[in-house]
Structure 1
């Protein structure tokens, strides 16, 4: 497939830049050589021509007829050359000038031809070099165009020495890893949500059909109770999905929230439920003010406490504490495998298969906690307790990023 011109414009620009710099450097080098040769050429040629030109016979020595006391006449200033020497000087100068002009003309012609050839070679090399430099970018572009939801597993895996483009390709691969993880999580979320919503609807339909088939008052009363129970579970599921969607969109408002007082209030809300299950809730909260949405923070604490109450054992214990900008909740309960802890923050993930028992929950508690923590730039982590149960920590930053 032919590459469109806009995709090749960077290569053209790099070629023009590299080729222009090389040609400019070549032109400057030729100009420097020309100037240096021209400055010393005349003196060199003059010396060579003067040395090679035969001189006129030397003047005779004073003869005896002139007498021993007679010396040659002194030369007049400005006329210190004899006629033969003046003619020789003119000849030498003419030859030197003509030779200099011919040499400089030849040098200039050869230099211009060499510059043209150098320019052609420079542009060709610049085009080749630009192609080599931009090859990783072309690989990244082709991969990005080829990717879709069906082949997010593909990676660039650029085989190149360390450098900026290698870092770019590795960063792109890392981004694809995150995108693939998010898309897979969304697909699982949609499938699980559809399954969780379809099950209560099927139960409601079956209960209605049974109730209509047998008009006995006791049976109708029992079916009505079942329908109300399933409807409440469905309502809680839908509210959890809506809350998860809202928290994923980030914060709509921010204000200082006294997290310690909020935790105490939520713990008091669940005191009766915990007492009925034979559980005790202990609080050890210190004053902590965080920036965030008070409604969403209340949901975060409620989900933590509700999860600790629901997944516990009789005569168990729940400890809610705040220290060092960290909200921590610990509960007793069944043993939790360490390898299963990271998956508990995903929607609809449970340690055991769902039995659709009353008060079982939809498996959204910790996933909502993780989403609300991310919305507040906090980090939610969990680890199993040695004697069973789970400890969840939510650490808030000193200041919420803008």
Structure 2
């Protein structure tokens, strides 16, 4: 079914109203002209009685009536057809004018729509700021701007709360870890105490990872204040070197296809993105499994691993915070790894997609915009808005 735009509907409505009014005027004009024309019988009778002799045959009157009827019909027909042609021409002009006026009337709505589409967590400072008379459209735009002010305030407050809370929680966790390590280092500590200490250290480490993840997530959600040119291929090589121990621990083979690729962004966040993908691919794999890493044009980064089969219906939820599959629920993760990856990708104006191979595992592809600006890696590039 064809979907009409608001501009098309307004044009059809205005054009239809014009044609309907024109038809009414045409009917009124027809009736007025028809009423103004004199009766052919009366005219013929008056003309015959005044101009002809009484001895004139009656059939002459019928000839005059026929000619007058023909003239009357021709006059009415001419008026109707010329009026119809004029109405069609005027209708076309009115439709074009209605299309133009509808576009002008709906232009503020398009501005509101475009602003809403460009909005994101990193650029909630955009506003419509519509100029013009104080009509309904300006009131709508002002209401939209006021709503954005409230949203920006609430989002900034939430982000600051997460960051501040995460910072505040780091100190007591560090103190707890130190106390547990000191207690375990005591020569008089019993085996039960040491086992308890090991369990507390693991719990403490998991809490620290959770808090660190919240900090990174809060930072990436705020957007990028500035960007530098980052050699993604070298960054991935560095991360892979750091993952050798983890891969050996889980008996996972890592293969790579690295091509030069430069992107504009935050190197710390990009390193966390690659690290999270690699840790996820190695930890949630099978013994003797593999991880394939490639860097190139499109996608910029691709990580494919083996492992249990992932239901297609659960792919969308993988990038939600604290959402874990059944296969990862007991893996010791915090449930923030892939949500951080998605947030970092979004902050860099990129996109991420996940696929589920039939043999099992995940196929994650990350697309990042190319860095066209030829600057040195140390020079800051303003973030896109």
Q: TM-score, normalised by structure 1?
A: 0.47
Q: TM-score, normalised by structure 2?
A: 0.49
